[in-house]
Amino acid sequence: RKEVEQDPGPFNVPEGATVAFNCTYSNSASQSFFWYRQDCRKEPKLLMSVYSSGNEDGRFTAQLNRASQYISLLIRDSKLSDSATYLCVVTQTVPLVFGKGTRLSVIA
Amino acid sequence: NAGVTQTPKFRVLKTGQSMTLLCAQDMNHEYMYWYRQDPGMGLRLIHYSVGEGTTAKGEVPDGYNVSRLKKQNFLLGLESAAPSQTSVYFCASSYKNSNQPQHFGDGTRLSIL
Protein backbone atom coordinates (compact mmCIF):
# COMPACT_ATOMS: atom_id res chain seq x y z
CA ARG A 1 0.00 0.00 0.00
CA LYS A 2 1.37 3.41 -0.95
CA GLU A 3 2.05 5.82 1.90
CA VAL A 4 -0.37 8.46 0.71
CA GLU A 5 -3.05 7.86 -1.89
CA GLN A 6 -5.37 10.26 -3.63
CA ASP A 7 -7.91 9.89 -6.42
CA PRO A 8 -6.14 11.64 -9.30
CA GLY A 9 -9.39 12.87 -10.84
CA PRO A 10 -10.03 14.99 -12.74
CA PHE A 11 -13.10 16.18 -10.92
CA ASN A 12 -15.11 18.37 -13.29
CA VAL A 13 -17.75 20.35 -11.42
CA PRO A 14 -19.96 23.36 -12.24
CA GLU A 15 -19.52 26.67 -10.50
CA GLY A 16 -21.32 26.73 -7.19
CA ALA A 17 -21.04 22.98 -6.63
CA THR A 18 -19.73 21.32 -3.51
CA VAL A 19 -16.87 18.89 -4.03
CA ALA A 20 -14.96 16.66 -1.65
CA PHE A 21 -11.61 14.91 -1.90
CA ASN A 22 -10.28 12.14 0.28
CA CYS A 23 -6.73 11.11 0.94
CA THR A 24 -5.71 7.90 2.69
CA TYR A 25 -2.43 7.31 4.47
CA SER A 26 -0.77 4.11 5.60
CA ASN A 27 1.33 5.11 8.60
CA SER A 28 -0.72 5.26 11.77
CA ALA A 29 2.11 7.19 13.48
CA SER A 30 1.63 10.16 11.16
CA GLN A 31 1.45 13.36 13.14
CA SER A 32 0.71 16.31 10.90
CA PHE A 33 -1.55 16.74 7.92
CA PHE A 34 -1.91 19.45 5.32
CA TRP A 35 -3.66 20.31 2.09
CA TYR A 36 -1.68 22.14 -0.56
CA ARG A 37 -2.87 23.67 -3.78
CA GLN A 38 -0.80 23.60 -6.96
CA ASP A 39 -1.67 25.55 -10.07
CA CYS A 40 -0.39 24.42 -13.45
CA ARG A 41 3.38 24.90 -13.72
CA LYS A 42 3.51 26.64 -10.34
CA GLU A 43 4.84 25.71 -6.93
CA PRO A 44 2.64 24.03 -4.29
CA LYS A 45 1.15 26.47 -1.81
CA LEU A 46 -0.23 25.67 1.61
CA LEU A 47 -4.02 25.73 1.59
CA MET A 48 -4.65 24.67 5.15
CA SER A 49 -3.45 22.49 7.96
CA VAL A 50 -5.72 19.68 9.12
CA TYR A 51 -6.46 19.45 12.82
CA SER A 52 -7.88 16.51 14.74
CA SER A 53 -11.11 18.34 15.52
CA GLY A 54 -11.56 19.45 11.92
CA ASN A 55 -11.17 23.01 10.75
CA GLU A 56 -12.74 25.46 8.37
CA ASP A 57 -11.39 28.38 6.39
CA GLY A 58 -14.10 30.17 4.47
CA ARG A 59 -15.44 27.78 1.84
CA PHE A 60 -12.91 25.10 2.70
CA THR A 61 -13.32 22.46 5.40
CA ALA A 62 -10.68 19.89 6.31
CA GLN A 63 -11.24 16.82 8.44
CA LEU A 64 -9.07 14.05 9.85
CA ASN A 65 -10.21 10.54 10.61
CA ARG A 66 -7.41 8.78 12.46
CA ALA A 67 -9.33 5.55 12.95
CA SER A 68 -9.77 5.07 9.20
CA GLN A 69 -6.54 6.89 8.35
CA TYR A 70 -7.81 9.47 5.92
CA ILE A 71 -8.10 13.21 5.59
CA SER A 72 -10.68 15.05 3.55
CA LEU A 73 -11.13 18.45 1.95
CA LEU A 74 -14.55 19.90 1.23
CA ILE A 75 -14.96 22.90 -1.04
CA ARG A 76 -18.32 24.64 -1.00
CA ASP A 77 -19.65 27.06 -3.61
CA SER A 78 -16.85 26.24 -6.07
CA LYS A 79 -15.32 29.12 -8.01
CA LEU A 80 -13.54 29.04 -11.35
CA SER A 81 -10.43 30.11 -9.47
CA ASP A 82 -10.54 26.89 -7.43
CA SER A 83 -9.39 24.96 -10.50
CA ALA A 84 -6.06 23.44 -9.51
CA THR A 85 -4.46 20.26 -8.25
CA TYR A 86 -4.91 19.58 -4.55
CA LEU A 87 -2.14 17.70 -2.76
CA CYS A 88 -2.57 16.03 0.58
CA VAL A 89 0.50 15.87 2.76
CA VAL A 90 1.23 13.64 5.71
CA THR A 91 4.20 13.77 8.03
CA GLN A 92 5.66 12.04 11.02
CA THR A 93 9.28 12.22 12.13
CA VAL A 94 10.65 12.08 8.63
CA PRO A 95 10.00 14.66 5.91
CA LEU A 96 6.54 15.15 4.55
CA VAL A 97 5.00 12.62 2.17
CA PHE A 98 3.03 14.16 -0.65
CA GLY A 99 0.14 12.53 -2.43
CA LYS A 100 0.19 12.77 -6.20
CA GLY A 101 -2.71 15.17 -6.16
CA THR A 102 -6.33 15.42 -7.21
CA ARG A 103 -7.09 17.63 -10.17
CA LEU A 104 -10.16 19.86 -9.94
CA SER A 105 -11.70 21.73 -12.86
CA VAL A 106 -14.53 24.11 -12.09
CA ILE A 107 -16.61 24.81 -15.16
CA ALA A 108 -18.70 27.91 -15.86
CA ASN B 1 9.98 39.35 2.10
CA ALA B 2 11.33 37.09 -0.65
CA GLY B 3 10.58 33.74 1.06
CA VAL B 4 12.24 30.93 -0.90
CA THR B 5 14.16 31.92 -4.01
CA GLN B 6 15.46 29.47 -6.59
CA THR B 7 18.01 30.18 -9.30
CA PRO B 8 18.05 29.66 -12.19
CA LYS B 9 14.41 29.50 -13.30
CA PHE B 10 15.20 27.61 -16.52
CA ARG B 11 18.19 25.75 -17.83
CA VAL B 12 19.04 23.48 -20.72
CA LEU B 13 22.03 21.17 -20.37
CA LYS B 14 23.73 18.61 -22.51
CA THR B 15 24.19 15.07 -21.24
CA GLY B 16 27.27 14.85 -19.07
CA GLN B 17 27.39 18.51 -18.10
CA SER B 18 27.30 19.54 -14.46
CA MET B 19 25.44 22.33 -12.77
CA THR B 20 24.31 23.64 -9.40
CA LEU B 21 20.84 24.82 -8.45
CA LEU B 22 20.71 27.38 -5.68
CA CYS B 23 17.97 27.74 -3.10
CA ALA B 24 17.94 30.65 -0.66
CA GLN B 25 15.44 31.37 2.13
CA ASP B 26 15.19 34.44 4.30
CA MET B 27 12.76 33.06 6.91
CA ASN B 28 15.39 31.64 9.27
CA HIS B 29 14.06 28.13 8.63
CA GLU B 30 15.99 25.16 9.94
CA TYR B 31 14.80 22.52 7.48
CA MET B 32 15.30 22.69 3.73
CA TYR B 33 14.36 20.24 0.99
CA TRP B 34 14.89 19.53 -2.68
CA TYR B 35 12.14 17.81 -4.69
CA ARG B 36 11.65 16.89 -8.28
CA GLN B 37 8.26 16.74 -9.92
CA ASP B 38 7.56 14.71 -13.04
CA PRO B 39 4.23 14.17 -14.81
CA GLY B 40 2.20 11.48 -13.04
CA MET B 41 4.83 11.02 -10.33
CA GLY B 42 4.02 13.75 -7.85
CA LEU B 43 6.67 15.38 -5.72
CA ARG B 44 9.63 13.17 -4.85
CA LEU B 45 12.16 14.11 -2.23
CA ILE B 46 15.76 14.13 -3.44
CA HIS B 47 17.71 15.33 -0.39
CA TYR B 48 16.95 17.35 2.67
CA SER B 49 18.71 19.16 5.49
CA VAL B 50 17.69 19.55 9.12
CA GLY B 51 20.16 22.33 9.81
CA GLU B 52 23.32 24.07 8.73
CA GLY B 53 26.05 21.60 7.88
CA THR B 54 23.73 18.58 7.71
CA THR B 55 22.24 16.73 4.77
CA ALA B 56 20.32 13.50 4.31
CA LYS B 57 19.09 11.37 1.43
CA GLY B 58 15.49 11.36 0.38
CA GLU B 59 13.57 9.04 -1.90
CA VAL B 60 15.52 9.62 -5.14
CA PRO B 61 19.06 10.81 -4.27
CA ASP B 62 21.09 9.06 -6.99
CA GLY B 63 22.88 11.40 -9.37
CA TYR B 64 22.54 14.40 -7.05
CA ASN B 65 24.63 15.95 -4.32
CA VAL B 66 23.73 18.72 -1.89
CA SER B 67 25.41 21.10 0.51
CA ARG B 68 24.16 23.32 3.33
CA LEU B 69 27.16 25.44 4.27
CA LYS B 70 24.98 28.33 5.37
CA LYS B 71 21.60 28.10 7.07
CA GLN B 72 19.88 30.18 4.43
CA ASN B 73 21.24 28.32 1.38
CA PHE B 74 20.75 24.78 0.11
CA LEU B 75 22.56 23.80 -3.07
CA LEU B 76 21.65 20.91 -5.37
CA GLY B 77 24.34 19.63 -7.70
CA LEU B 78 24.11 17.44 -10.76
CA GLU B 79 27.52 15.89 -11.30
CA SER B 80 26.92 14.43 -14.77
CA ALA B 81 23.50 15.32 -16.12
CA ALA B 82 21.38 12.61 -17.73
CA PRO B 83 18.16 12.93 -19.76
CA SER B 84 16.31 11.15 -16.91
CA GLN B 85 17.01 14.19 -14.75
CA THR B 86 14.87 16.39 -16.97
CA SER B 87 12.28 17.64 -14.51
CA VAL B 88 10.96 20.55 -12.51
CA TYR B 89 12.92 21.01 -9.31
CA PHE B 90 11.39 22.61 -6.23
CA CYS B 91 13.15 23.76 -3.13
CA ALA B 92 11.23 24.12 0.12
CA SER B 93 11.88 25.10 3.70
CA SER B 94 10.13 24.66 7.02
CA TYR B 95 10.59 26.36 10.36
CA LYS B 96 11.65 23.95 13.09
CA ASN B 97 10.85 20.46 11.94
CA SER B 98 9.11 18.41 9.31
CA ASN B 99 5.76 18.72 11.11
CA GLN B 100 5.63 22.36 10.11
CA PRO B 101 4.20 23.35 6.71
CA GLN B 102 6.69 23.82 3.94
CA HIS B 103 7.19 26.95 1.88
CA PHE B 104 8.20 26.40 -1.72
CA GLY B 105 10.28 28.27 -4.24
CA ASP B 106 8.77 28.75 -7.67
CA GLY B 107 10.81 26.00 -9.28
CA THR B 108 13.60 25.40 -11.76
CA ARG B 109 12.73 23.85 -15.10
CA LEU B 110 15.67 21.76 -16.21
CA SER B 111 16.00 20.01 -19.56
CA ILE B 112 18.81 17.60 -20.34
CA LEU B 113 19.40 16.93 -24.03
**Which one of A3-12, A89-98, B85-94 scores highest in mean pLDDT?**
B85-94
pLDDT-derived band at A94, boundaries 50, 70, 90: low
Decide if B98 and A91 are in contact by the 8 Å CB cutoff.
yes
- For residues A13-26, average pLDDT: 95
Nearest to A49 among B101, B103, B106 (CB): B101
- Chain B nearest-CA distance from A75, in A, is 21
- Cβ of B102 and A49 within 8 Å? no
Q: Which residues of B40-53 are buried (b: 16+ CB within 10 A; e: fewer)?
A: eebbebbbbbbeee
CB contact under 8 Å between B104 and A96, yes or no, is no
The verdict on B39 touching A (C-beta cutoff 8 Å) is: no
pLDDT score recorded for residue B39: 85
Question: How far is Cα A104 from Cα A21, in angstroms, rounded to an integer?
Answer: 10
Q: Residues B75-91: what's their mean pLDDT?
A: 97
Higher pLDDT, A77 or A51: A77
On whether any CB of chain A is under 8 Å from the CB of B105, the answer is yes
The two most distant CA atoms of chain B are separated, in Å, by 39
CA B82 to chain centre: 17
**Mean pLDDT across the stretch B55-81?**
96
User: What percent of chain A lies above the pLDDT cut of 90?
Assistant: 72
Alpha-carbon distances of B12 from A61, B15, B46, B75, rounded to whole Å: 42, 10, 20, 18
Q: Does the structure show a pLDDT above 80 at A95?
A: no
Nearest by CB: A100 against B42, B104, B107 = B42
Q: In whole angstroms, what is the distance from residue A108 CA to residue A90 CA?
A: 33
Q: What percent of chain B has pLDDT over 90?
A: 88
Any A CB within 8 A of B95 CB: no
Sign, CA dihedral A10-A16-A20-A21, equals positive
pLDDT for B100? 84
Give the Å distances, CA to CA, from B59 to A77, A97, B34, B35.
38, 10, 11, 9
Residue B8 has pLDDT above 90, yes or no: yes
pLDDT at B16: 97
| pLDDT surpassing 70 at residue A93 | no
Decide if pLDDT at A31 tops 60.
yes
Chain B: residue nearest A99 by CA?
A: B42
